[in-house]
């Protein structure tokens, strides 16, 4: 098991509501990436945070936003929830090195259901 | 952007057989290729990875090969066991210091006793 933790484990919301998901990165890791995994699909990149700044973003609308804190933990916020936002939300942490991409270690995910 | 194709989508083998899963990528700048195993309801777990300066890597029953010219890489599992049953994802990444993963759609591997 990795040292990446996420909360909550499950969440049920209704359309139009807002949700905040949380992630604690593995010790020594200063980069956090968020992914959305729809049922039967591979994870899709939402965005990445490094040193408290957004470092890259996938093809997701602005109602998906995030934060990273000085202790490298992170939040994913989704406003105006839609039915299609129902998915497993995964965060992954990685160390930053100058030599190239580093291994990403995933948390257990938060399963969001939007009704 | 990067596009990763993965085949087959499902793979059924008998215990003890070998299993091969193949992926192709589109961006020649990609230089890191991890494979993740995801059991039902669990997190993706890294099982092996390879960087573009290496053609093959082995770890016990698992091996990964990379052909940069053809832009494809493969996962090989030998002597499969029922506990190998899971969904396997390939991914590709590029960049220096920090980067994102582009995943394939996954292969459901079923190993029958």
The pair phi, psi for residue B83, each rounded to 5°, is -70, -5
Chain-chain contact of B103 with A107 (C-beta, under 8 angstroms): no
Q: Rounded to whole angstroms, how far apart are CA atoms A75 and A52? A: 11
Looking at residue B52, its pLDDT comes to: 83
The pair phi, psi for residue A112, each rounded to 5°, is -105, 130
Chain-chain contact of B97 with A48 (C-beta, under 8 angstroms): no
For residue A26, the Cα-to-chain-centroid distance in whole angstroms is 14
Burial class of residue B83 (count of CB atoms within 10 Å of its CB; 0-12, 13-18, 19+): exposed
Q: Over 70: is that where the pLDDT of B98 sits?
A: no
Two structure tokens written together for A49: 């945070």
Looking at residue A90, its pLDDT comes to: 97
Q: Is B34 near chain A, with CB under 8 Å?
A: yes
Q: Which chain B residues are Cβ-neighbours of A108 within 8 angstroms?
A: 42-43
What is the residue-averaged pLDDT of chain A? Answer: 91
Q: Over 70: is that where the pLDDT of A98 sits?
A: no
Burial class of residue A98 (count of CB atoms within 10 Å of its CB; 0-12, 13-18, 19+): exposed
Residue count of chain B, please give it: 113
Only one residue has tokens 């059924």, namely B12
Pairing outcome for strands B19-25 and B86-92: unpaired
CB-CB neighbours of A33 under 10 Å: 29
Chain-chain contact of B100 with A98 (C-beta, under 8 angstroms): no
What is the residue-averaged pLDDT of chain B? Answer: 93
Task: Please list, in sequence order, all residues whose beta carbon lies within 8 angstroms of the beta carbon of residue B9, skipping any fewer than 6 positions away.
Answer: B105, B106, B107, B108
Residue of A nearest to B4 (CA): A42
Least confident of A40-49, A89-98, A104-113, B74-83: A89-98
Report the candidate in B16, B51, B46, B47 with the shortest Cα–Cα distance to residue B33.
B51
- Could you tell me if residue B18 is left (phi over 0), alpha (psi between -120 and 50 degrees) or otherwise beta? beta
Among residues of chain A, what percentage have pLDDT more than 70?
A: 93
Chain-chain contact of A100 with B103 (C-beta, under 8 angstroms): no
- For B1-12, the pLDDT digits (tens) are 889 999 999 999
Looking at residue A27, its pLDDT comes to: 83
Which of the residues B50, B94, B98 would you substitute to probe the A interface, choosing the one with the greatest number of A C-beta atoms within 10 Å?
B98
Q: Rounded to whole angstroms, how far apart are CA atoms B68 and B26? A: 11
Q: Which chain A residues are Cβ-neighbours of B21 within 8 angstroms?
A: none
Chain-chain contact of B96 with A100 (C-beta, under 8 angstroms): yes
- Residue window 60-89, chain B: list those with CB within 8 Å of chain A: 89
Q: Which chain B residues are Cβ-neighbours of A42 within 8 angstroms?
A: 6, 89, 91, 103-106
Q: Over 70: is that where the pLDDT of B97 sits?
A: no
Residue of A nearest to B44 (CA): A106
């Amino acid at each position: 098991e990795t040292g990446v933790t996420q909360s909550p484990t499950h969440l049920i919301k209704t359309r139009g509501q807002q949700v905040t998901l949380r992630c604690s990165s593995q010790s020594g890791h200063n980069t956090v990436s968020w992914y959305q995994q729809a049922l039967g699909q591979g994870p899709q990149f939402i965005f990445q945070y490094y040193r408290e700044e957004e470092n890259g973003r996938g093809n997701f609308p602005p109602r998906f936003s995030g934060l990273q804190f000085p202790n490298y933990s992170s939040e994913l916020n989704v406003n105006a929830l839609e039915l299609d936002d129902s998915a497993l939300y995964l965060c992954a942490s990685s160390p930053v090195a100058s030599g190239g991409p580093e291994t990403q270690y995933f948390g257990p995910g938060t399963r969001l259901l939007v009704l | 952007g990067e596009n990763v194709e993965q085949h087959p989508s499902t793979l059924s083998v008998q215990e003890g057989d070998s299993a091969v899963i193949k992926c192709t990528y589109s961006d020649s700048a990609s230089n890191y290729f991890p494979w993740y195993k995801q059991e039902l309801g669990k997190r993706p777990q890294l099982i092996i990875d390879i960087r573009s300066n290496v053609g093959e890597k082995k770890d016990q029953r698992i091996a990964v090969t990379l052909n940069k010219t053809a832009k494809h890489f493969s996962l090989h599992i030998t002597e499969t066991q029922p506990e190998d049953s899971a969904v396997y994802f390939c991914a590709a990444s590029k960049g220096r210091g920090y980067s994102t993963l582009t995943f394939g759609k996954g292969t459901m591997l079923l190993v029958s006793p």
